[in-house]
Amino acid sequence: MISSPAASSTSSSPLRRLERDDMLERSVLTTRPAAVEYRRTPLAHSVQTLIDALSRWTTTSLPAVTAARTTFDADETLSPGGAGRPRRHKLTPSRNRVTATPGVELAASGTH
């Protein structure tokens, strides 16, 4: 539950979007000063398992991601643009993928 004095529309905008998406229920409290209380809906509770799993994955995988970035950055320093770097993955055009061609900037191929 989130409870706070009534806020301006700018600061409450993310909360209103979550309310619109049925992730939060909003209640205006009859207090002085006026306050608003937000509670998570069953829909919000249902996504919590996914959020927890993503959090665990992030915590577990962060060392590997950091190591990959370090390796990539070191390779980039030695060979800007990746010239001469062996390709680790073959990318093929398809929906929601990116096509990689040496010497050409990456461009999205397909819609997202």
CA torsion sign for 88, 60, 50, 69 is negative
Predicted local distance difference test score (pLDDT) of residue 86: 57
Q: Where are the domains of the chain?
A: 2-40, 42-83
Residue 92: its pLDDT value, please?
A: 54
Please count the other Cβ atoms lying within 10 Å of the Cβ belonging to residue 12. Answer: 16
Tokens of 25: 């229920």
Q: 3-state SS of the chain: helix, strand, coil percent to 5?
A: 45, 20, 35
Question: Which distant-in-sequence residues (6+ apart) come within 8 Å of 92 by Cβ?
Answer: 99
Structure tokens at 55: 């959090």
When pLDDT is averaged across residues 29-49 and rounded to a whole number, the result is 93
pLDDT exceeds cutoff 60 at 71:
yes
Inform me whether the pLDDT recorded for 76 exceeds 60.
yes
Contact 9, 20 (CB under 8 A): no
Label the pairing between strands 35-40 and 97-99: unpaired
